[in-house]
Each structure stands twice: as C-alpha cells, then as structure tokens.
Structure 1
Amino acid sequence: MTLTERGDAVATQTGWRFRVVASFFDSMLETSLDDETAFDIGVALPQDGIARLRGLVDSACLGRCPAADGDAGRCVA
C-alpha cells in the first residue's frame, strides 16, 4: 500500500498526537495507557490541547518517534 502525500501527512500527524498523549501519561502521570485509549484521546483533543501536553513533557517521543530515529532532538513534534 502506498499513501498519498495527504494520507502520509494525516498518518504522521495522528501518530505524533498518539505519541504526545502516551508520553504525557508515561512521564507526567507515571501511568501508561493502552494504545486505543491514547489514540482516542489524541484524536479527540484539539490542537492547542495537544500543544499543551507537548509543552509539559521533555520529549514527546521518548526515543520512540520513527522520524527521530531515537534522537529526541529530531522529533517531528
């Protein structure tokens, strides 16, 4: 399967939102969410809500962002 340019952008943005939410719960609340719940929260929150969560964690990736290749400084967030 090949994604269109728009499909790739949507998938990247959705994945980023998922990672931000999961990272917030992991690092700030010291609890983990199941993937479905993290996805649902990430999709439901408005952009400014995601931006606020992102601002509260050191790294939205925690080394797991595929775009960062383990380097938090290269995170797409």
Structure 2
Amino acid sequence: MEDELLNLTHITEALKVDLSKEAMVDYKKSARFEMGLVRTSQVSYEYGYRVALARFRARYLELEVEEDPFKNLLEDSSVPMEAD
C-alpha cells in the first residue's frame, strides 16, 4: 500500500513537471510572447541610445545632436502595427 502511494506520488509529480514544460513551450510559441521580446529589445535599444547620447553630450559640450530618432515621422505612419 505504501509503495503504491509513493509510486502514485512520483507519477503525479512527473506529470506536473511535464505539463509545466508543455505550457512554457506553448507560451513561447505565442504571438504575445514574441511581441514582448520585440518590445523588450526596443526598450533596451532606446535606453542604450539615450545613455550613449548623454555620455556624448557630457564629453563634447560644444557639439549638438540635431536628430531625434524616436520622434514620429510621417513616412512611418503608413507602416502597419500590431495592436494588443
């Protein structure tokens, strides 16, 4: 009886691990996960740009940077974007 109960406990725990792995694989295949990665990389890129720009401005006080790469440009308005 105890062996059977112990065996069932091990089987139940193994199934829980398998189900959580399957759920993770399914989630990583989803479009929501993909868009999260895209957004994360965009935020990282923008932050890196701003840090580099701040360091540039601190080092070269007499120089100016004219272009803001994050402003909305008219030619970008026709690009289709995925909405949440």
TM-score after normalising by structure 2? 0.34
Q: Which has the larger radius of gyration?
A: 2
TM-score after normalising by structure 1? 0.36
Question: Which structure exhibits the higher relative contact order, with contacts defined as CA atoms closer than 8 Å and separated by 6 or more residues?
Answer: 1
